Structure 1
Amino acid sequence: MKFADEFRDPAAARGVLAAIAGVTAEIGATADAPIRIMEICGGHTHAIFRYGLDKLTPPGLEFIHGPGCPVCVLPMGRVDECVALAERPEVIFTTFGDAMRVPGTRKSLMQAKAEGCDIRMVYSPLDALELARRNPDREIVFFGLGFETTTPSTALSIQQAAAEGLANFSVFCNHITVPPPIRALLDDPRMVLDGFVGPGHVSMVIGTRPYDFIARDYGKPIVVAGFEPLDLLQSVLMVLEQIRDGRAEVENQYARVVPDEGNPVSIAACADVYEPRPSFEWRGLGEIDLSGLRIRERYAGFDAERRFAIGYGAARAAVPEPEGCACGEVMTGRIKPRQCPQFGTGCTPEMPLGALMVSSEGACAAYYQYGGGQLEPAG
């Protein structure tokens, strides 16, 4: 494939791997005292295991998997609210396919659909807008889910609905942002991290400057990375070189896609439609200040939380994890997926306990698909 093969060239990969091994040795990292680099994005986690990069890099380097899957960090209580919305007879509930199999306390959206709820998978919120045009007698609810990568498309759809006066369209807004959970992880005394591989798709929207605090306030290097194997290997090398040189900077390996200033059109649309929530609950991380987005008052008519009195606008209690499920510990990099006692036994893609096993960006799904389903003891 033109423009893909260049980033998968074995000879070039061997050269970068040799450089990684050399810098790791210069730093003095070993298997007992490795350099711990967190890849924030779940897409990077899958790429690492798909291409076997965890096996090709030296033992003095350890990948720590971060909370970069928006489906995975969604608390179970929000899934329950999705199901409750979908069970309303007047509602056509629309969602991306990733969210369909995420378990709630009662059922998943897939199970609710099997029981007769009108739930439809869409590829874009524009598909939900078209459903609203074609079904004026039904309430069309779009499940707005994702990091800064997907927030612009939802924002633009709300603006379009407002322009057309579509009174039967609303968004259940669960959009979240990347920088606040990184700060929460860095503030956690239990986390030992030496550097970050930053998300590529998110950075395509917001640019690289929102990560300045990582280097400035915490002295940790971060390199925004692409998704091909050579992208990731080069980004790891750039992080290691910063550590070796005693530097802490924000670097952009993915400059062919990511401008440092981000996408001004997307940023403007999001600023018009959303405002920060005072707090938002993350699975495994708890409530994080200013980490979620809600729909501004000027677009209140398109806010499903206001329209149906659900979510953070209604009284709610935290929903505990299923017994034995370690999604929170895996999500925050405290343990690896195979250290969860349920991995591959009580929790499989066919019968998942948690979202990490069914999301296309979930760490458990990556381990199960590319790393085997063998159980490893914790510790």
Structure 2
Amino acid sequence: MNSIIDDQSLASAGLVRMQWYRERMPLVTEVNQLFKQQQVLKGMTIAISMHIEPKTGFWVEGLLAGGAAHIYLVGCLGTTKKDTAAYLASLPNVTVLAKEGDLYEDHKRYLKMVMAHKIDLFLDNGASLILAHHELKPGWNPIGANEETRTGKLLIEKNGVQPDYPVIVIDDSPLKQTFENALGVGQSVVDGFMRTTSLLVGGKKVLVVGYGYCGSGIAKKFRGLGANTLVYDMNPVHLLNAKTDGHWVGELHELIPEADVIITATGSFNVITEQHIPLFKEKVILANSGHYGFEINVEEIKQASQSVEIVKEGIERISFAEKSIYLLHSANPVNLAGADGNPIEIMDMGFALISYSAYRIMTNVESLQHGLQPVPKDIDSQVSKLFMNSLQ
């Protein structure tokens, strides 16, 4: 199977750009060396669904060095960096299926192509591979899988999927929740918003919808830059937490008319829909930080509009009879579509969690149960110590 990417001529540029990241990821460097020495993945075929950007690229190199016979890499919607995709596609035994402008239909087609091959290990993000395997029933099971996100876990549970193989949920790790979700996503979402809009944050009313680990981090970072932060969450405990953290809280229909910026961070679908159009302030900016852009029902909102036009790279103006609103990056994750994703140190830790969990699957699968389960505590402890040492 040939790779499907934007421009293979960008491979050398992708390699050059990776050098900055490669020099600043000591945890991934260490686990990559472990994989290489022990040939943990020797002869294995691996399927990955992941945001394709430089940090991912360095991590994938380690899987190859660990002996993987072939890697199928499917990108996530709206976040593919063309030069990284080109570099990875230039490596032997790697098939990359990801273009910058892919639609959901393209993503589904790529997954179907991958499922035509027997896969030994899924390294998933958003449960794309796990759900495709369940739907297509190819007649084989992987040895095991990782699922990185809360969104993916919710989709597996919502669809009643009970995998007949171990699935380690990286997002259930307190290490990921505390550092990658709250600290990393908070910083990177603000970064993506500022790079895309070139606007001042201070003084704006920013509504964060969802106050889990990611949402709380986003709200705190915006507040730290002088924004007036508003928070809505369906969970009353989360809402109380937001209140005591110093944010304005209330019902969604009360907060939307006040907001200059609305950012979704729920992991759910259809959080902002056509029914909210009458509530929007003139020129409100909509953005999403969740894995899938479906948190904002873009199709429904656009169908109700009079016109849609691109006014700046990554910004669409959606006009109605009585007002115009702005949408960032088609509701794809603003931190990756509009910037470079989570900070390098954070993803160094995150990819280490994924790799050590994959190591457990490939070397001691008998210690794991079938179905969803958290990262083993000893792996959390090990990566915590490594992460602490890397920050000295």
The TM-score with structure 2 as length reference comes to: 0.33
The structure whose RCO (Cα within 8 Å, separation 6+) is larger is 1
Greater helix percent: which structure?
A: 2
The TM-score with structure 1 as length reference comes to: 0.34
